[in-house]
Amino acid sequence: MRKIISIFILTGLFSCMPEEELPIKDMGAISGYFIECYCIPGEPYILNAAKILPLTEMIDPGAVVDLDVSIKADSVIQLVPVPGAPSFLGNYQHMTRMENYGIDSLFLSILTPENEHITAKTAVPEAIEISSYTVSQTTNSVSITFPTSRNPRQNYYIFSIQARKSDQDDPILKKETIYMDLSDHTPGTSIEKTIKCPQIEQADAVFITLMRITEACYNYQISLYEANSANQGSITTPVPLVGNIQGALGIFTCYTKDNKYIPKEKFN
Protein backbone atom coordinates (compact mmCIF):
# COMPACT_ATOMS: atom_id res chain seq x y z
CA MET A 1 0.00 0.00 0.00
CA ARG A 2 1.31 3.43 -0.87
CA LYS A 3 1.70 6.10 1.76
CA ILE A 4 1.08 9.75 1.08
CA ILE A 5 3.09 11.95 3.42
CA SER A 6 2.99 15.74 3.63
CA ILE A 7 6.46 17.27 3.78
CA PHE A 8 8.25 20.58 3.55
CA ILE A 9 11.50 20.76 1.65
CA LEU A 10 14.61 22.43 3.04
CA THR A 11 17.90 22.61 1.15
CA GLY A 12 21.06 20.55 1.05
CA LEU A 13 20.54 17.89 3.73
CA PHE A 14 20.99 14.71 1.75
CA SER A 15 21.10 13.35 -1.75
CA CYS A 16 19.12 10.15 -1.40
CA MET A 17 19.61 8.50 -4.78
CA PRO A 18 21.68 9.53 -7.75
CA GLU A 19 18.92 12.05 -8.48
CA GLU A 20 16.72 13.92 -6.00
CA GLU A 21 17.58 15.62 -2.71
CA LEU A 22 15.66 14.66 0.39
CA PRO A 23 15.63 17.47 2.97
CA ILE A 24 12.59 16.94 5.17
CA LYS A 25 10.74 18.90 7.84
CA ASP A 26 7.25 18.91 9.39
CA MET A 27 6.92 15.14 9.51
CA GLY A 28 4.10 15.12 12.05
CA ALA A 29 3.58 15.27 15.80
CA ILE A 30 4.41 11.59 16.46
CA SER A 31 8.05 10.54 16.39
CA GLY A 32 9.07 7.78 14.03
CA TYR A 33 11.69 6.73 11.51
CA PHE A 34 12.67 7.60 8.00
CA ILE A 35 14.17 4.76 5.96
CA GLU A 36 15.80 4.72 2.54
CA CYS A 37 17.27 1.61 0.95
CA TYR A 38 18.28 1.24 -2.70
CA CYS A 39 19.44 -2.30 -3.48
CA ILE A 40 21.61 -2.81 -6.55
CA PRO A 41 22.58 -6.24 -7.95
CA GLY A 42 26.31 -6.81 -7.59
CA GLU A 43 26.71 -4.24 -4.82
CA PRO A 44 26.62 -4.45 -0.97
CA TYR A 45 23.37 -3.86 0.93
CA ILE A 46 23.25 -0.34 2.39
CA LEU A 47 20.37 1.23 4.31
CA ASN A 48 19.91 4.78 5.58
CA ALA A 49 17.86 5.30 8.73
CA ALA A 50 17.05 8.45 10.68
CA LYS A 51 14.91 9.43 13.61
CA ILE A 52 12.10 11.97 13.25
CA LEU A 53 11.99 14.23 16.29
CA PRO A 54 8.50 14.65 17.82
CA LEU A 55 8.79 18.31 18.84
CA THR A 56 10.63 19.90 15.93
CA GLU A 57 9.06 17.43 13.47
CA MET A 58 12.36 17.24 11.61
CA ILE A 59 14.81 14.50 10.71
CA ASP A 60 17.84 14.56 13.01
CA PRO A 61 20.77 13.43 10.82
CA GLY A 62 23.05 13.10 13.86
CA ALA A 63 20.81 11.08 16.19
CA VAL A 64 21.86 7.55 17.09
CA VAL A 65 19.46 5.02 15.55
CA ASP A 66 19.35 1.54 17.13
CA LEU A 67 17.45 -0.83 14.86
CA ASP A 68 17.42 -4.55 14.11
CA VAL A 69 17.58 -4.59 10.29
CA SER A 70 17.39 -7.56 7.94
CA ILE A 71 16.74 -8.08 4.24
CA LYS A 72 15.50 -11.40 2.89
CA ALA A 73 16.83 -12.27 -0.56
CA ASP A 74 17.88 -15.86 -1.32
CA SER A 75 18.83 -15.90 2.38
CA VAL A 76 18.35 -13.53 5.31
CA ILE A 77 20.97 -10.76 5.34
CA GLN A 78 21.45 -9.07 8.72
CA LEU A 79 22.56 -5.47 8.28
CA VAL A 80 24.79 -4.08 11.00
CA PRO A 81 25.39 -0.51 12.19
CA VAL A 82 28.41 1.24 10.71
CA PRO A 83 30.58 2.51 13.60
CA GLY A 84 30.79 6.27 13.64
CA ALA A 85 28.52 6.74 10.61
CA PRO A 86 26.13 9.69 11.00
CA SER A 87 22.47 8.96 10.66
CA PHE A 88 21.16 8.82 7.08
CA LEU A 89 24.55 8.33 5.46
CA GLY A 90 24.65 4.57 4.94
CA ASN A 91 24.51 3.84 8.65
CA TYR A 92 23.47 0.16 8.20
CA GLN A 93 25.15 -2.23 5.81
CA HIS A 94 26.24 -5.76 4.99
CA MET A 95 29.18 -6.26 2.68
CA THR A 96 27.62 -9.31 1.04
CA ARG A 97 26.95 -8.34 -2.55
CA MET A 98 23.44 -8.80 -3.88
CA GLU A 99 23.21 -11.64 -6.37
CA ASN A 100 22.92 -10.57 -10.01
CA TYR A 101 20.56 -13.39 -10.97
CA GLY A 102 17.87 -15.61 -9.51
CA ILE A 103 16.21 -13.13 -7.13
CA ASP A 104 12.91 -11.52 -8.11
CA SER A 105 11.87 -9.96 -4.78
CA LEU A 106 13.43 -8.54 -1.63
CA PHE A 107 11.82 -8.17 1.80
CA LEU A 108 12.78 -5.64 4.47
CA SER A 109 12.18 -6.28 8.17
CA ILE A 110 13.10 -3.81 10.93
CA LEU A 111 12.45 -4.07 14.66
CA THR A 112 12.64 -0.76 16.55
CA PRO A 113 13.60 -0.19 20.21
CA GLU A 114 9.91 0.54 20.75
CA ASN A 115 9.23 -3.08 19.65
CA GLU A 116 7.47 -1.90 16.51
CA HIS A 117 7.90 -3.59 13.14
CA ILE A 118 8.77 -1.80 9.91
CA THR A 119 8.34 -3.82 6.72
CA ALA A 120 8.51 -3.42 2.96
CA LYS A 121 8.78 -5.45 -0.22
CA THR A 122 10.28 -4.65 -3.60
CA ALA A 123 10.57 -6.36 -6.94
CA VAL A 124 14.02 -6.75 -8.51
CA PRO A 125 14.01 -5.17 -11.99
CA GLU A 126 15.43 -6.91 -15.01
CA ALA A 127 18.95 -6.06 -16.12
CA ILE A 128 19.25 -3.00 -18.36
CA GLU A 129 21.70 -2.28 -21.17
CA ILE A 130 22.35 0.78 -23.32
CA SER A 131 22.34 -0.50 -26.90
CA SER A 132 23.97 2.56 -28.49
CA TYR A 133 24.87 6.14 -27.60
CA THR A 134 26.10 9.36 -29.21
CA VAL A 135 27.40 12.61 -27.77
CA SER A 136 27.03 15.58 -30.11
CA GLN A 137 28.95 18.81 -29.64
CA THR A 138 27.03 20.30 -32.54
CA THR A 139 23.67 20.02 -30.76
CA ASN A 140 25.06 19.72 -27.19
CA SER A 141 23.05 16.57 -26.67
CA VAL A 142 23.36 12.92 -25.64
CA SER A 143 21.21 10.26 -27.28
CA ILE A 144 20.84 6.63 -26.27
CA THR A 145 18.87 3.63 -27.47
CA PHE A 146 17.81 0.74 -25.28
CA PRO A 147 15.30 -2.13 -25.36
CA THR A 148 12.14 -1.92 -23.28
CA SER A 149 10.95 -4.92 -21.31
CA ARG A 150 8.17 -7.22 -22.50
CA ASN A 151 6.69 -6.75 -19.01
CA PRO A 152 5.03 -3.29 -18.74
CA ARG A 153 5.69 -3.21 -14.98
CA GLN A 154 9.42 -3.29 -15.76
CA ASN A 155 9.30 -0.19 -17.96
CA TYR A 156 10.22 2.60 -15.56
CA TYR A 157 13.56 4.30 -16.08
CA ILE A 158 15.89 7.11 -15.06
CA PHE A 159 18.25 8.48 -17.72
CA SER A 160 20.91 10.93 -16.56
CA ILE A 161 24.05 12.51 -17.93
CA GLN A 162 26.96 14.39 -16.40
CA ALA A 163 29.02 16.86 -18.42
CA ARG A 164 32.47 16.71 -16.82
CA LYS A 165 35.66 18.76 -16.86
CA SER A 166 38.53 17.12 -15.01
CA ASP A 167 40.65 20.23 -14.31
CA GLN A 168 38.05 21.74 -11.94
CA ASP A 169 37.63 21.25 -8.17
CA ASP A 170 34.13 20.00 -8.91
CA PRO A 171 34.49 18.01 -12.13
CA ILE A 172 30.73 17.92 -12.79
CA LEU A 173 29.83 20.93 -14.92
CA LYS A 174 26.17 19.97 -15.17
CA LYS A 175 23.90 17.01 -14.50
CA GLU A 176 20.64 16.49 -16.36
CA THR A 177 18.04 13.81 -15.61
CA ILE A 178 14.81 12.58 -17.11
CA TYR A 179 12.30 10.15 -15.60
CA MET A 180 10.48 7.79 -17.92
CA ASP A 181 7.22 5.94 -17.38
CA LEU A 182 7.09 3.69 -20.45
CA SER A 183 4.55 1.27 -19.02
CA ASP A 184 2.14 2.23 -21.84
CA HIS A 185 4.85 2.01 -24.48
CA THR A 186 4.87 -0.96 -26.86
CA PRO A 187 6.74 -3.62 -24.82
CA GLY A 188 9.85 -5.36 -26.09
CA THR A 189 10.87 -2.66 -28.57
CA SER A 190 13.86 -0.36 -28.95
CA ILE A 191 13.48 3.25 -27.90
CA GLU A 192 15.63 6.36 -28.31
CA LYS A 193 15.89 9.21 -25.82
CA THR A 194 17.87 12.46 -25.95
CA ILE A 195 19.03 14.92 -23.30
CA LYS A 196 20.30 18.38 -24.22
CA CYS A 197 23.02 19.97 -22.11
CA PRO A 198 24.76 23.23 -23.18
CA GLN A 199 27.75 22.45 -20.92
CA ILE A 200 28.78 19.57 -23.23
CA GLU A 201 30.54 22.24 -25.29
CA GLN A 202 33.02 22.85 -22.43
CA ALA A 203 33.20 19.22 -21.21
CA ASP A 204 36.14 16.88 -21.67
CA ALA A 205 33.95 13.83 -20.95
CA VAL A 206 30.33 12.78 -20.53
CA PHE A 207 29.10 10.13 -18.11
CA ILE A 208 25.81 8.39 -18.96
CA THR A 209 23.64 6.37 -16.58
CA LEU A 210 20.49 4.45 -17.46
CA MET A 211 18.55 2.83 -14.62
CA ARG A 212 15.60 0.44 -14.71
CA ILE A 213 13.60 1.15 -11.57
CA THR A 214 10.42 -0.10 -9.93
CA GLU A 215 7.09 1.71 -10.20
CA ALA A 216 7.34 2.54 -6.48
CA CYS A 217 10.78 4.09 -7.00
CA TYR A 218 9.51 6.09 -9.98
CA ASN A 219 6.60 7.51 -7.95
CA TYR A 220 8.92 8.30 -5.05
CA GLN A 221 11.49 10.10 -7.20
CA ILE A 222 8.80 12.09 -8.99
CA SER A 223 7.30 13.17 -5.67
CA LEU A 224 10.75 14.26 -4.44
CA TYR A 225 11.30 16.20 -7.66
CA GLU A 226 7.92 17.93 -7.31
CA ALA A 227 8.58 18.72 -3.65
CA ASN A 228 11.97 20.24 -4.44
CA SER A 229 10.44 22.21 -7.32
CA ALA A 230 7.69 23.54 -5.05
CA ASN A 231 10.35 24.79 -2.66
CA GLN A 232 11.65 27.16 -5.34
CA GLY A 233 8.60 29.37 -4.83
CA SER A 234 8.32 32.12 -2.25
CA ILE A 235 5.68 30.23 -0.27
CA THR A 236 6.47 26.75 1.07
CA THR A 237 3.50 24.39 0.93
CA PRO A 238 3.11 20.71 1.83
CA VAL A 239 3.90 18.31 -1.02
CA PRO A 240 2.83 14.66 -1.01
CA LEU A 241 5.74 12.21 -0.80
CA VAL A 242 4.96 8.71 -2.05
CA GLY A 243 6.66 5.88 -0.12
CA ASN A 244 6.19 2.12 0.14
CA ILE A 245 7.29 1.29 3.70
CA GLN A 246 4.83 0.04 6.31
CA GLY A 247 5.42 1.56 9.76
CA ALA A 248 7.86 4.27 8.66
CA LEU A 249 8.41 6.91 6.02
CA GLY A 250 10.61 6.41 2.99
CA ILE A 251 11.42 3.89 0.27
CA PHE A 252 12.72 0.32 -0.02
CA THR A 253 13.49 -0.51 -3.62
CA CYS A 254 15.91 -1.98 -6.13
CA TYR A 255 17.26 -0.85 -9.48
CA THR A 256 19.58 -2.08 -12.20
CA LYS A 257 21.86 0.21 -14.20
CA ASP A 258 24.23 0.58 -17.11
CA ASN A 259 26.93 3.29 -17.27
CA LYS A 260 28.94 4.68 -20.16
CA TYR A 261 31.96 7.02 -20.01
CA ILE A 262 32.64 8.96 -23.22
CA PRO A 263 35.84 11.04 -23.48
CA LYS A 264 35.83 14.18 -25.64
CA GLU A 265 37.75 12.54 -28.46
CA LYS A 266 34.76 10.26 -29.01
CA PHE A 267 32.20 13.07 -29.22
CA ASN A 268 30.53 13.59 -32.59
166 alpha carbon, distance to own chain's centre: 25
One-letter amino acid of 242: V
Model pLDDT, residue 88: 57
For the chain, the domains span 3-125+235-255, 132-212+257-266
> Counting every residue, how long is the chain?
268
Note the pTM of the prediction, 2 decimals: 0.85
Model pLDDT, residue 238: 57
Model pLDDT, residue 77: 95
Alpha-carbon distance of 18 to 20, in angstroms, equals 7
Which runs of consecutive H residues, i.e. helices, occur in the chain? 215-230
Kindly provide the b/e burial profile for residues 123-148, where b requires at least 16 CB atoms within 10 angstroms of the residue's own CB. Answer: bbbeebebeebbbeeeebbbbbebeb
* Alpha carbon distances (Å) from 140 to 101, 178, 266: 37, 16, 14
Question: What contacts 232, CB < 8 A, 6 or more positions away?
Answer: none
Model pLDDT, residue 66: 87
Model pLDDT, residue 241: 73
Q: Does residue 205 sit in helix, strand or coil? A: strand
Whether domain 132-212+257-266 has CATH 2.60.120.10: no
In a structure prediction context, what are the per-residue pLDDT tens digits for the chain, which is 268 residues long? Answer: 333 333 333 323 343 454 555 544 544 444 588 899 999 999 999 999 988 765 445 665 566 688 999 999 989 999 999 887 665 566 899 999 999 888 999 999 999 998 999 999 999 999 999 999 999 999 999 999 999 999 999 999 999 999 999 988 899 999 999 999 999 999 999 999 999 999 999 999 999 999 999 999 999 999 888 877 765 554 444 566 788 999 998 999 999 999 999 999 999 9
